[in-house]
Amino acid sequence: MTLVAVWKVQGDRLMAISDSRIVGNHGVLTEHGPKLLPITISCKQPSESGSFDREVFRADVGFAYSGATLSALATHALSNTFLGKLIGSPGAPPPSMADIARFVAGAGAEYMREVGSIAQQGAFFAAVVFGWCHRENRLRVFKLAPRTTTPLSVDFHEKELLEISLERPASQSVIVIGSSPGLFEQAIEDELASCRERGETHPIVAYDAPKRVLRRLIADNEDEKVGGTIQQAWATAGGFQIVSNMEPITPTPPSTRNAGLFLLGFDTFDLAGVGEYLVSSEGR
């Protein structure tokens, strides 16, 4: 299990965070589990040759999950593969975020039914699919959750999020999934209330409240299924992007570097190069 939060901030941006612990039947399997992932949508239409080799649309949206890792990652892999190979008639518009969420829900239902034939409810997961809808020119967020019908299906519902603010309840701005969502939601609400009491008014105080809360829940070990480090990402009109965490470190002589950019707990400055390139990402 895990904790995931997606919320809206000023300027048409969705923020997302999760912890990185993956737990199995016998304890913690890894503290570096990716739970915020991109899904690439690519649409091609016929060129003058008649082949579907003219790409007319490409965009990334976000996929976040909580629950059965095998079912969730298989759903992501299938969705990312198939949605990256779409073809259509000349002039066809790109799929909407609702279309994308519907496809991911269908893929999730297939894997939960298949894995669930042995693992039963150990195959279930919830997810959030979010990003910029190029059909409606706005950010949209969908929550996916299994429904134990026969056969099992996955419901997807859109959540309209308002900008997170000290002046409104967190429930209007934040969507949470995970092993203890109520704990997380209440902790965010308490954090916003504390900011108000201290007279803190800058918008960044509210924008970063969920991140501060999750960091504290991990440090205090409030839920044994939640741990590791914080993974974060955002979605804008420009697409979905994984974002590094800048954290202080103790310099290792002869280096005097006292900060690192961490992805899933790994300092990207310490990673080996890939050919002539280095791993890099925006950080905050």
The dihedral over CA atoms of 165, 2, 75, 123, expressed in degrees to the nearest 10, equals: -140
Per-residue pLDDT of the chain (284 residues; tens, 9 = 90+): 689 999 999 879 999 999 999 998 889 999 999 999 999 999 999 998 889 999 999 999 999 999 999 999 999 999 999 999 999 999 999 999 999 999 999 999 999 999 988 888 889 999 999 999 999 999 999 999 999 888 899 999 999 999 999 989 999 999 999 988 988 999 999 999 999 999 988 888 999 999 999 999 999 988 888 999 999 999 999 999 999 988 888 988 888 889 889 999 999 888 888 999 988 888 87
Enter the tokens of residue 29: 């399997």
Global pTM value: 0.94
Q: Which of 184, 251, 278 is nearest to 223 (CA)?
A: 184
| 59 to 43, 67, 158, 183: CA distances (angstroms) | 9, 26, 20, 34
Closest alpha carbon to 39 in 87, 88, 73: 73
CB atoms within 10 A of CB 123: 22
Which residues partner with 93 through β-bridges?
Answer: none
